[in-house]
Structure 1
């Protein structure tokens, strides 16, 4: 079979996952995957310029893809929106079927030199959840929704890594509590909006916040946009 007819990137990731529990997302795991797949090191490096870091990122995005596919297959008619979000996070955890690979990835992206990459991946997960659930916000809420869900998702993953309860029931209960906390914040915000003088405050802030827009095109980095006032 020629290299042109093979999905070498996928083969390298699958091979690396056999070594990650022992070597982590390291150069040793990357080199072992190259040897297992039997491809030229130059080709493997061309597909993954940063080596194991690129493989770890690809593993995370593979989980996102599986989550989106599973979420799209669900019948969510009649579900509360908070339950849809909880379902999406649960499906994302289920998509991460190799807990040790996730644990090693958390360790890798906790390092200062890779922290930005880790934040970008978590943001990407939150972005895909909101997009799949049909989010249409085009203002500052676009950012706050993803920032809030990023916090919920990342804290739930950390809890899940240490959870040995049957069917990860403790993690699901933790997730429900985190989402309930977010909903309580939304209730407080709604009450604040009814306070005397709040309308004047909002109007003064809107002149600034209305200039904040989501990116026009999907990018593989932390999104951001600031429109020029007309």
Structure 2
């Protein structure tokens, strides 16, 4: 089970539903959180106990809801006729389909760029990458587990920023952007494969392989930092 599959408390969901009307005006702020508690009919002390991180916690919950929705859509999608790169690109587009309103995302992006929330923001992006790879059936258990998620985290981060400024119908330009980014990543992977097979570079790639051969994926899905065997 990934973090995105873990159900939230129903009262926390009520708070999230209530705060979304205030975020475009007040951001993910304490004022918005207090208004949400009032609108949801939940006493403020109880609301703070439910979501100790306040509005930031609700912003994270909204992000994980999108991950869960995308995970379900990816698992239900038919990838049989798609090549590997197209599967990854399509999975990213399904996550794009699960995005909430642009202003909510814009405000979330600003929130998680703040130093006190940057760690949580990075964890959420990593969680999205992990959710997508897990839904695609990734079985890697070595250093590739990390490199796949690090690469996809970078692609997803740039995709969100591009989408925030995209006013094309159906976010068509963002979808094309995803295709270009994945194509670029595949070119890099191809270059890495050639380097591994190069007699000239084999001493270097072989040494790197020895350094990373004992790195393993986390024992628990969604966990970090993994293990060394």
Please confirm whether the aligned pair reaches a TM-score higher than 0.5, indicating the same fold. yes
Match of 1:56 in 2: 59
Distance 1:59 1:225 in 2: 26
Offset from partner CA, 1:146-200 (integer Å, 9 cap, x none): 0000000110110000000111111111111111110110111121122214444
Query: Do the aligned residues in 2 keep the contact of 1:27 with 1:51 (CA within 8 Å)?
Result: yes
- 2:50 matched to 1:47? yes
Match of 1:149 in 2: 152
1:41 CA drift (Å): 1.5
Query: Do the aligned residues in 1 keep the contact of 2:127 with 2:222 (CA within 8 Å)?
Result: no
Superposed CA RMSD? 1.5
Match of 1:216 in 2: 219
The residue correspondences of 1:180-191 to structure 2 (distance < 5 A) are: 180-191=183-194
Distance 1:206 1:120 in 2: 27
Distance 1:97 1:225 in 2: 31
Secondary structure at 2:116 match in 1: helix
Query: Do the aligned residues in 2 keep the contact of 1:122 with 1:154 (CA within 8 Å)?
Result: yes
1:67 CA drift (Å): 0.6
Distance 1:154 1:201 in 2: 31
Query: Do the aligned residues in 2 keep the contact of 1:99 with 1:161 (CA within 8 Å)?
Result: yes
- 2:134 matched to 1:131? yes
1:124 CA drift (Å): 0.2
1:103 CA drift (Å): 0.8
TM-score (norm 1): 0.91
Secondary structure at 1:191 match in 2: helix
The residue correspondences of 1:1-230 to structure 2 (distance < 5 A) are: 7-219=10-222, 223-228=224-229
Higher relative contact order (CA 8 A, sep 6+): 2
Provide the aligned length of Structure 1 versus Structure 2.
221
Unaligned 5+ segments in structure 2 are 1-8
Query: Do the aligned residues in 2 keep the contact of 1:213 with 1:224 (CA within 8 Å)?
Result: no
Query: Do the aligned residues in 1 keep the contact of 2:195 with 2:202 (CA within 8 Å)?
Result: no
Unaligned 5+ segments in structure 1 are 1-5
Distance 1:145 1:82 in 2: 12
1:20 CA drift (Å): 0.4
Distance 1:104 1:203 in 2: 45
TM-score (norm 2): 0.92
